[in-house]
Amino acid sequence: MTPFWDMLNRIEQSDVMALLENTSAEKVRPLIGRPRLSEADLALLLSKGATPLLEEMAQQARRITQARFGNAVSLYAPLYVSNKCSGTCPYCGFKKTQKIKRRTLSIDEVEAEGEVLSRSGIQHVLLVTGDCPGKGVEFLCEAARRLKKRFPSVTVEIPPLDEADYRALTECGVDGVTLYQETYDKALYDELHRGSPKDNYMYRLDALSRAGAAGMRKLNLGVLWGLSDWRYDAFRLALHARFLEKNHWRSQILLGMPRLHNVPGDFTIPCKVSDRDFVHIIVTMRLFLHDAGIVVSTREKPGFRDNLLAIGATQFSAGSKTEPGGYSAAERQSGAQFEIDDQRSPKAVEADLARLGYDPVFKDWDRGFIS
């Protein structure tokens, strides 16, 4: 068992469900300005009874975000190494049964992609690979070494690793790990990933603790909104973030907010999350976790995404391509993981954010800060 799972199991599920089903706004209102919230408070803020108070919650979330982050918005972009995957995750455009053109970049091609990306102004690159045979830690180390010449910050979104492998990556210059649990509902997770390389829920659940122990400076966790009941997943995600904050205080904790929109045609999103519910999740995360970065990707539409900055978002991807080789090629030559809804270039995002009064930040981290 992982320490976080043990902690989660000490909380009585029926008690949490009762709080999430609360329909009384009066129980929620006194919590909105409270500086430190308990687990029970968190459940009440996520409850149905909190819905009429969303505007008040958003105003408080805005005050906290301003106090902690000012107007700064960090920008980054993903760099996909491969779309070959032995995984069978039904919601993913890279699953092995998906009929797409497959491609895996060589080290030189990764470097070439990095060169094009860096010319767009991006200084934080997120290396992404699915469960791709032959692209293990040594390859990622070499890719990181090459990319560090151009990018002050290199982070990875890759399958979970042992602590020693995370340590090897930090030694090559990788400073952060993004790893989404997809859903904290273990029965659903097992059902969705049966027979897939991703079928070990516990190993995944503990991965960010291993990454933190290995010295990763940024730990980005999340769920795929739309897979399961959002209230209960948000409750467990927030507790996981607080657990990591407490146990890995040297690392910055970030919450990724990937919401399912564009999925393979043979998959139906089981629990679609509306815009209002998505806002409810973000403001609650901000009220519960004052210092966590909140990352909103190009899965969201431009205007909606920009509005989320006012209530808690602090980091955007920009100009993203979700297929390997996407930055260098004039036209798409391989399959993408998902279609993006915000097509703006990094420069266009920068200009829009400046017009709205925010400070777009391309460089928010450099290893030199700590050495």
Which residues here bind ligand SF4, judged by CB under 6 A? 85, 87, 89, 92, 94-95, 130-131, 198
The least distance separating ligand SF4 from the CB of residue 208, rounded to whole angstroms, comes to: 16
- The residue at minimum Cβ distance from ligand SF4 is 130
Query: Least distance from C-beta 104 to ligand SF4, angstroms?
Result: 13
Shortest Å, Cβ 178 to ligand SF4: 12
Judge whether 266 and 30 are in contact, CB under 8 Å. Answer: no
3 state DSSP class of 21: coil
Nearer to ligand SF4, 87 or 325 (CB): 87
Choose between 121 and 197: whose C-beta lies nearer to ligand SF4: 197
Complex with ligand SF4: residue 95 or 236, whichever CB lies closer:
95
CB of 163 to ligand SF4, least distance (A): 21
> Cβ atoms within 10 A of the Cβ of 331, count?
5
List beta partners, residue 221.
179, 255
Q: Nearer to ligand SF4 by C-beta: 43 or 92?
A: 92
CA distance linking residue 95 with residue 197, whole number of Å:
11
**Given CA atoms 173, 119, 124, 111 in this order, what sign does their dihedral have?**
negative
Smallest distance from the beta carbon of 252 to ligand SF4, in angstroms?
Answer: 24
Q: Which residue, 217, 143, 164, 167, is CA-closest to 367?
A: 217
Quick check: 116 and 328 in contact, CB under 8 A?
yes
CA geometry: angle at 65 spanning 128 and 232, to 5°? Answer: 65
244-282 as b/e: b if 16+ CB within 10 A: bbeebeebbbbbbbbbbbebbeeeebeeebeeebbbbbb
Burial track 45-77 (b if 16+ CB lie within 10 A, e otherwise): bbbebbeebbebbbebbbebbeeebeeebbbbb
Nearer to ligand SF4, 157 or 306 (CB): 157
> Quick one: 198 or 217, whose CB is closer to ligand SF4?
198
If the CB atoms of residues 102 and 290 are measured against ligand SF4, the closer one turns out to be 102
154/78 Cα distance (integer angstroms): 10
- Residue 346's closest CA among 363, 331, 332, 360? 360
Q: How far apart are CB 320 and ligand SF4 at their closest, in Å?
A: 15
Q: Cβ of residue 158: shortest distance to ligand SF4, in angstroms?
A: 9
